[in-house]
Amino acid sequence: MTDYIEPVGDDYPVDDDEEREQKPKRTAKGAAIVGVRVLAGTIGIGIAAAAIVAAALVPLPTVSTAPVPVTVTPVPTAQQLVCPGSLFQLGDETGQDATTASPIGAAPVEFDSTSGAVTESPLSDPAADVDGGTREPVVLSSPVGDTSVDDDVLISGTQTQVAARGDFRGLAATNCSQAATETWLVGGSTTTGRTTLITLVNPSDTSSSVNITIAGENGAVSAPGAEGIVVQPHSQRVLSLAGFAPDVLAPVVRVVSKGGQIVANLQQSTVRGLEPGGVDIIGSTNAPSTTQVIPGVVVANSATLQSRLGEEGYADLATSLRVFLPGEVGSDVSVDVVSETGGESSSFSITLDPGVVTDLPVDGLADGSYTVTVAAEHPVVAGLRVSTVPAADETGSSSGSDFAWLASVHALSDRALVTVAAGPRPQLHLSNPGEEDAEVSVDALTGDDLEVVVPAGGSAVVDLAENTTYELGGFDTLYGSVSYQADTALASYAVLPPTTISGPIEIYP
């Protein structure tokens, strides 16, 4: 049985055919109306979307204020230089306690400034001043000057020491230098009869942690204990290089400090059998660069020196250029040796292996002085060893010798100050890399003023007075060094650029 539901009102069932007949037919006019309505809606939607996009692209008004920098001028502070102090020997005067470094004699210090008095302070112990000099490092502090460039106070200092006791005989000289976070030292040896020490001075109020890395003729040297060396404030540590790198013929040392900045030096002494072979303090060399300049290479009594090179143990009397190429890429290097007095010059080239120290002989130099320039594809560090022996006597024999390690020097700009301490025949060596002659004034702070013309691309030599400070001016760029020379005494040090002065800085809030 099927349930039946009675329709209500007009809701009667209609079959499909009837329904189709009852629908109104779509005409062309109706279709057009519908199309217009659809098109209008689409256009309206597009306009609305475009309006939204345009509104997003239109920059909104902003309110901003440019930050106003505040210029801060640091309070002027005293410049400081550190002189390394006396020479050291391993062991005491009786030869005992060979692991401890003991001072030998005292090192006289000469210093001055262009304005005001310089304060001289032993690093920690005023009683260290003995025998007209100092045993421990000395801190030189300049007066506080105007911070303007034209009124900068220049300060310089130098120490010399003549060693004449036991196996230590010769002349050692070095400049007093500014503390730094990184120092490169080129020179020394730890082979038989050669003793090399590292001196680390911390003049600051902050403890310093020092890392020492060493390279030699066979590459990097594994040196246990050479990292994290603590140097307390206002103190000095003296370490044997052989303790880190035994039996290394050609070391190059890099010293990096954290905390207090460090003044680092090497000290080398040589003994050949029973004959003392000289002593030297080796200062910092210029940081890795594609150009290194070493002025003041003094050659004397070359004929006698040449005859002694054939004796056993005397090979390191020869003039030798030491070059080190950091990194992992080899480099072609050219070396120019230019006479400072108008004599013959020479040049040669070599390809260096990376990470290896190379000693290059500089042969056949006649008596005189020279500037050596090293040009490389990749940055290198460089230093040069030169030696002296007395002229042969009537029997044809000669005894005694000394040597000096010359550092590649920093470029000088506009002006510099150099102090000449006591020593035999001091000379100033200047090299001019420019394309025009430089008329250089060499004005003594107390004494006679000098002038010298340094030719373009050449060098010049000036005789100086002992215990005198000179201000150099009238040039754009120069390289300079000071040498001392006698039959059995030889020493050299670089003319340093002025110490760094802090200028005004801008701070943005």
Q: What is the per-residue pLDDT across 45-68, written as a single tens digit (0 to 9) for each?
A: 555 555 554 545 555 555 555 566
What is the rounded CA–CA span in Å between residue 162 and residue 390? 17
Q: What is the pLDDT of residues 79-127, one digit of tens each?
A: 899 999 999 988 766 556 667 888 888 899 999 999 888 999 988 765 5
The C-alpha atoms of residue 32 and residue 34 are separated, in whole angstroms, by 5
Question: At 499, is the secondary structure helix, strand, or coil?
Answer: coil
Structure tokens at 151: 């009124």
SS3 of 312-335:
CCCHHHCCEEEEECCCCCCEEEEE
Helix (H, G, I), strand (E, B) or coil at 225: coil
Q: What is the mean pLDDT of the chain?
A: 85
Q: Is 248 exposed, middle or buried (0-12, 13-18, 19+ CB in 10 A)?
A: buried
CA angle 414, 422, 442 (to 5 degrees): 25
According to the model, what pLDDT value does residue 62 have?
53
Highest mean pLDDT among 2-6, 30-34, 97-101, 314-318: 314-318
The per-residue pLDDT for 64 is 52
Judged on CB neighbours under 10 Å (0-12, 13-18, 19+), 149 is exposed
User: Is the pLDDT at 458 greater than 90, yes or no?
Assistant: yes
CA–CA separation, 292 and 284 (whole Å): 13
What one-character-per-residue DSSP string does 355-394 give? T-EEEEE---PPSEEEEEEEEEEEEEEEEEEEEE-PPP-T
DSSP letter at 45 equals H
d(CA 11, CA 267): 121
Give the residue, 161 or 507, on which the prediction is more confident: 161
Residue 228 has pLDDT above 80, yes or no: yes
Q: Which residues contact 490 (CB under 8 A, 6 or more apart)?
A: 170, 171, 278, 298, 386, 387, 388, 402, 403, 404, 483, 484
User: pLDDT category, 73, cuts 50, 70, 90?
Assistant: low
What residues does 312 pair with on adjacent strands?
none
Query: CA-CA distances (angstroms) from residue 5 to 2, 8, 13, 14, 46?
Result: 10, 9, 11, 15, 52
Of the chain, the percentage scoring pLDDT greater than 90 comes to 66
- Paired tokens of 479: 């390289």
Give the SS3 label for residue 7.
Answer: coil
Q: Rounded CA gap, 359 and 27, in Å?
A: 106
Task: Give pLDDT, residue 330.
Answer: 95
> Is the pLDDT score of 15 beyond 70?
no
Q: Residue ranges of the alpha helices (H) in 199-315?
A: 302-308
Asked whether the predicted pLDDT for residue 371 surpasses 70, the reply is yes
CB of 450 within 8 A of CB of 420?
no
Which residue type does 415 have?
Answer: R
Tens of pLDDT, residues 280-317 = 999 999 999 999 999 999 999 999 999 899 888 999 99
- Residue 171 β-bridge partners: 162
CA–CA distance, 339 with 438 (Å, rounded to integer): 17
Residue 14 has pLDDT above 50, yes or no: no
**Per-residue pLDDT band at 165 (split at 50, 70, 90):** confident
Q: Which two tokens stand for residue 202?
A: 């911390």
Distance CA 422, CA 109 (A): 9
* pLDDT for the residue 486: 94
Taking only the tens place, the pLDDT of each residue in 388-423 is 998 876 666 667 899 999 999 999 999 999 999 999
3-state secondary structure at position 291: strand
